[in-house]
Amino acid sequence: MSSSKKPGAPDAARRDAARKQILDLLDGAKERHEKAFPGADGDALQYFAHLSAIRQLSESLFARWLKPHRISYSEYRVLSSLRTRGRDFRATPLELNRVAQITSAGMTRTLDRLEAAGYVEREPNPSDRRSVHVGLTREGWAFAATLAGELGEHYTEILEGVGKKRLAEETKTLRAAVERLADAVTR
């Protein structure tokens, strides 16, 4: 008997129980918060609880998807960033930090791992002796393309059945949330 279950994916009963637990927590968050903190804005809490859930669920998905490749999400973001900018593109670790959103020390470790795996190479920065330029190797270029293809399949699967109009509406709502948070961070 063959199974169509994807490697690392939870079985249906566990998946349904986890989904229910997450949604129950979100559904009760506003009431619990308003009861514990009279006068607090439960709607604002619920908004941020949903954003937090999206982040946690996304991180869990990426961890599962990338685990067979033995790379982290930060490593994937570096590879993807370099791949989407063209074959001969080079970036400094600081520029890559903006994409991967990790600390300087974290970026050094990420680049060390990617270099040891043969996916990136570092070369001296001709305009700043204290810095390096990072680029993809041939192996890194191919590996990043493979990862992008696999993740694209996962994205498509998750969004299966969501019409273009609804997807555009949800994306617009998420964009508004990102803009609001970016404004708050840059104040």
The answer to whether residues 20 and 8 touch, using CB atoms and an 8 Å cutoff, is no
CA distance 163 to 10: 26
pLDDT digits (tens, 9 = 90+) for 37-61: 888 888 888 888 889 899 999 999 9
Its pTM stands at: 0.77
Q: Which one has a higher pLDDT value, 85 or 71?
A: 71
Q: Among 19-33, 57-71, 146-160, 168-182, which stretch is predicted with the lowest mean pLDDT?
A: 19-33
Strand partners, 124: 132
Residue environment code for 139-162, b if the CB has 16+ CB neighbours within 10 A, otherwise e: ebeebbeebeeebeeeeeeeeeee
Domains of the chain (ranges; CATH) run 10-67 (no CATH), 70-187 (1.10.10.10)
Per DSSP, the three-state class of 90 is coil
Contacts of 128 (CB under 8 A, 6+ apart): 92
Strand partners, 135: 121
Q: Residue 108 corresponds to which amino acid?
A: T
